[in-house]
A and B are shown apart, each in its own frame.
Chain A
Amino acid sequence: MSDDATTPAIELVGISKSFGPVQANKDISMRVMPGTIHGIIGENGAGKSTLMSILYGFYKADAGQVMIRGKTAEIPDSQAAIAAGIGMVFQHFKLVENFTVLENIVLGAEEGAWLRPSLAKARKLLSRLSEDYELHVDPDARIEDLGVGMQQRVEILKALYRQADILILDEPTGVLTPAEADHLFRILEGLRREGKTIILITHKLREIMDITDTVSVMRRGEMTATVATASTDPSRLAEMMVGREVLLRVEKTPAVPRDVVLEIEGLRVVDEKKVERLRGIDLTLRAGEILGIAGVAGNGQSELLQVLGGMRAAEGRVTLNGRDLPLEGPRAGARFRRQAGIAHVPEDRHREGLILDFHAWENVAFGYHDDPAYARGLLMDNDALRRDMQAKIEKFDVRPADCWLSAKNFSGGNQQKIVIARELERNPDLLLVGQPTRGVDIGAIEFIHQQIVALRDAGKAVLLVSVELDEILSLSDRIAVMFDGRIMGERHPSETDERELGLLMAGITDTDADPTLDEIEANLDLTGQRTP
């Protein structure tokens, strides 16, 4: 750390980086002062991660300079970044799952050729770091047995063990409950007090406002602004990110629920590893309302969607418009669910929603390939598919508007629009939608939310699963919280808040009490959650 507080901890000068024809970073300059938390905000694909990868030695910049504490630094690989005092906490943790915490921490930073002395030394240093920064973890626990919040602490400890004084965190709160995120921020504040410099990459405006000192906005590979956080507000930041004014709140009228569309009674699922994923779910969903399912990833929401979408067998009873849906056997398949009037926007569009190597127009047929409108005798009518896709592309403003492009060449938001166009245009009685805006940019989020609300207003039922609490709160007419395969409670969005939902998400029903963070952690760890 520099004694001179006026020397930036990191200074980037004119960084550019291209991947083929795509320019990911264009002439980026930025300075981060020591002992501050600097936010970098921008939509997906804006070039934030590329920039940080350059800083961590994963990519080599085509042009430009990196200065660390006033000195020009060459960072050809991660080794050099570590030596320069840079630590990185990736969005997808870089941990060896079946190693212990201690083994993960010493990996690559061992003292000598023999392990035992390295581990002993690390254990001592670790307990000191844990004390200093309130980063408590069991050094002998296996990573795969830890919850994601704990795993993230291990990542931070890894960086601190390597004596990083510049810490980069890439979308750190994506997998955390609100309580865990709060605790992370407390840790970051503690690190700032110790003089560490922190770069926080996020797409969540609220986090930027809550914790950063300065913020840089990136859009399409360029850094459009760097401002003091105190001098800006969320809507100005959003505008800088997207390049136009955006609605941060979903505009909708109160719901007018009508007849019951979906009724779920005692739904149970036991997975391939004989783990009970759903432990008796009861839910009712009416026409004209959006039921939001909140919960930390891995608490059974995915299984619930899969069962309803016909992708997984279950026990219990499910009725759609008063008629029983088979939950096992050949007639429980996804095709029959679609025929019954259920449309499904799956959680993972890359694995379940699209075939990335296929053209956009081929993707429009999935799930509806036996529609007579797409057939010419025994053959597929490809012209009809292309006409249909082109019409949907225009209606849903998919860009670029080219049905011959492979699905993988669209941005995340436009891929999602393709899936949503396919499913919504069928005018289903029930829409199942999982993580509708995961990896989708703000501009497209607004559009997708509007489409979901429009479907509700047309008198359809919507079951929304999302790990984004903001999304659940702003979109839902009713909220059910899932924890460990059970519904912990139902709330009305106007009568609850993030704190209460966050406690329910951590499995704590007595929401009047104020449990300590360790209790929450302990509760979460019981379920053995892992990164999805």
Chain B
Amino acid sequence: MDLLTIIQILDSTVRLATPLLLACLAGLFSERAGVIDIGLEGKMLVAAFFSAAVAAATGSVWLGLAAGVTASVTFALIHGLASITFRGDQLISGVAINFLASGMTVLIAQDWFSQGGRTPSLTGGARFSEISLPGATALREGYRETIADGVEPSGVSAIYWDLISGHTLLVYVAIAMVPVSWYVLFRTRFGLRLRAVGENPGAVDTAGVSVVRLRYAAVVIAGVLCGLAGAYLATGLAAGFVKDMTAGRGFIALAALIFAKWRPWYALFACLLFGLLEAVGNRFQSIDILGIGIPTQFMQALPYILTVVILAGFVGRAIPPRAGGEPYVKER
């Protein structure tokens, strides 16, 4: 395996990790505030659909993005209404959101576009285009010329022009969200209160701060981040919406969240690991290890296998926020 192959795998790792990372940070905000969010999947899915649909209709990826985020936040508010205001079961509300999203997107897609539950393929301004960082093009040209000259290049420059440069805007946004989330959670008043409300809402309430308002804020942030994740899936990573295109990424993000022990930086590495497995699965459709052929299906199942391993608790004890999943009821 040469350096260029490795860089290409890492490049695809970053792309595939992006939606996971955004969804994982969404879950992080929600769960740190004590609202379990199993509906990441559903929120991503509605965002993917509405961003693709609006982008297809208007030709503007930005309008699409706005529509996707709006749809996701709407779903987040439904979850908030059920689990914060009406103190319903957060798991059930999340599952309902997933079902609603899965059915609704295909139904509306068929009604609007009549293409078997998908949106038309997006082209041009309806998709996020790749951003070329300064100097990247020149470096790539240089690389190509070296090959043309018949010399084998080292490929080190590809780290810049392939791995670091050349992603869509949302990839950079997702990565920037990691330090931003960390800062918000651990260096601001809002973050202190948010973490406190997920650990002991009684402490926040008696300190004179509204538990309900804080939890809604967290749920809306989760909605926005899931919206970005969904929009990226349909208008960045792919070129349009297809049925159930999130393919369990919301659940993988939840697994990554547990793996990351509800911390932003760990979340980055957990999501990159999942992204790597997916990238490896895509790249090596079939490989031989010691003469035994590993089937493609196994390679593609890798991220899901890791999910099960993590959820089964093989990675050490992860202590979730203590008040997670519990609706807050005032008590004496």
Contact = CB atoms under 8 A, between A and B. Distances in A.
Interface string A45-86: 000011001001010000000000000000001110110000
A108 B202 contact: no
Interface in B151-207: 186-193, 195-196, 199-200, 202-207
A98 B195 CA distance: 10
B208 A96 contact: no
Nearest to A83: B208
A390 to B, nearest CB: 33
Contact of B208 (A53, A77, A95, A112): A77
* Among B189, B205, B330: residue with most chain A CB under 10 A: B189
Contacts of B187: 114-116
Contacts of B186: 115
A102 to B, nearest CB: 11
Contacts of A446: none
B189 to A, nearest CB: 4
Contacts of A49: 332
A107 interface: yes
Contacts of A116: 187
Interface string A99-122: 100011011111011111010000
Interface in B186-239: 186-193, 195-196, 199-200, 202-209
A151 to B, nearest CB: 12
Nearest to B323: A96
Interface string A109-149: 11011111010000000000000000000000000000000
A106 B193 CA distance: 10
A97 interface: yes
Given A53-B332, A113-B189, A108 B207 contact: yes
Interface string B314-332: 0000000010000000101
Contacts of A53: 332
Nearest to B207: A108
Given A50-B332, A108-B208, A108-B209, A113 B193 contact: no
A90 B188 contact: no
Contacts of B191: 115
A116 B187 CA distance: 7
Contacts of A97: 199-200, 322
A88 interface: yes
B199 A107 contact: no
B207 A78 contact: yes
A109 B207 contact: yes
Contacts of A350: none
A393 B203 CA distance: 40
A88 B206 contact: yes
Contacts of A106: 192
A108 B193 contact: yes
Contacts of A99: 192, 195-196, 199
A108 B204 contact: yes
Interface string A482-515: 0000000000000000000000000000000000
Nearest to A105: B207
Given A95-B200, A96-B199, A97-B200, A113 B206 contact: no
Given A103-B192, A107-B192, A110-B192, A98 B207 contact: no
A252 interface: no
Contacts of B209: 79, 107-108
Bin chain A's interface residue count: 20 to 34
Given A107-B193, A107-B196, A112-B189, A94 B202 contact: yes
B189 A115 contact: yes
A110 B189 contact: yes
A53 B330 CA distance: 10
Contacts, number: 77
Given A79-B208, A107-B204, A109-B207, A115 B199 contact: no
A96 B200 contact: yes
A97 B200 CA distance: 8
B332 A78 contact: no
Nearest to B187: A115
A79 B205 CA distance: 9
A79 B204 CA distance: 11
A171 to B, nearest CB: 11
B196 A114 contact: no
A78 B208 contact: yes
Interface string B27-68: 000000000000000000000000000000000000000000
A94 B201 CA distance: 9
Contacts of B199: 96-99
Nearest to A79: B208
A113 B188 contact: yes
A58 B202 CA distance: 11
A78 B206 CA distance: 6
Given A58-B330, A58-B332, A96 B206 contact: no
A49 B330 CA distance: 13
A254 to B, nearest CB: 43
Contacts of A112: 189
Nearest to B321: A98
Contacts of B202: 90, 92, 94
Interface string B268-296: 00000000000000000000000000000
A155 to B, nearest CB: 10
Contacts of B207: 78, 82, 94, 107-109, 158
Contacts of B208: 77-79, 81-82, 108-109
A82 B205 CA distance: 12
Given A49-B332, A77-B208, A94 B192 contact: no
A21 to B, nearest CB: 19
A108 B213 CA distance: 13
Nearest to B322: A97
A106 B190 CA distance: 12
B268 to A, nearest CB: 22
A438 to B, nearest CB: 17
Nearest to B317: A273
Nearest to A80: B208
A113 B208 CA distance: 16
* Among B186, B196, B203, B330: residue with most chain A CB under 10 A: B203
* Among B196, B204, B332: residue with most chain A CB under 10 A: B332
Contacts of B193: 107-108
B189 A118 contact: yes
B256 to A, nearest CB: 22
Nearest to B186: A115
9 contacts: A49-B332, A78-B206, A78-B208, A79-B208, A81-B208, A96-B196, A103-B192, A107-B207, A114-B187
Given A49-B332, A99-B195, A108-B204, 4 more contacts: A78-B206, A95-B200, A108-B209, A114-B187
Closest 8 CB pairs of A and B: A108-B207, A79-B208, A94-B203, A110-B189, A78-B208, A94-B206, A96-B199, A49-B332
Interface of A: 49-50, 53, 56, 58, 77-79, 81-82, 88, 90, 92, 94-99, 103-104, 106-110, 112-116, 118, 158
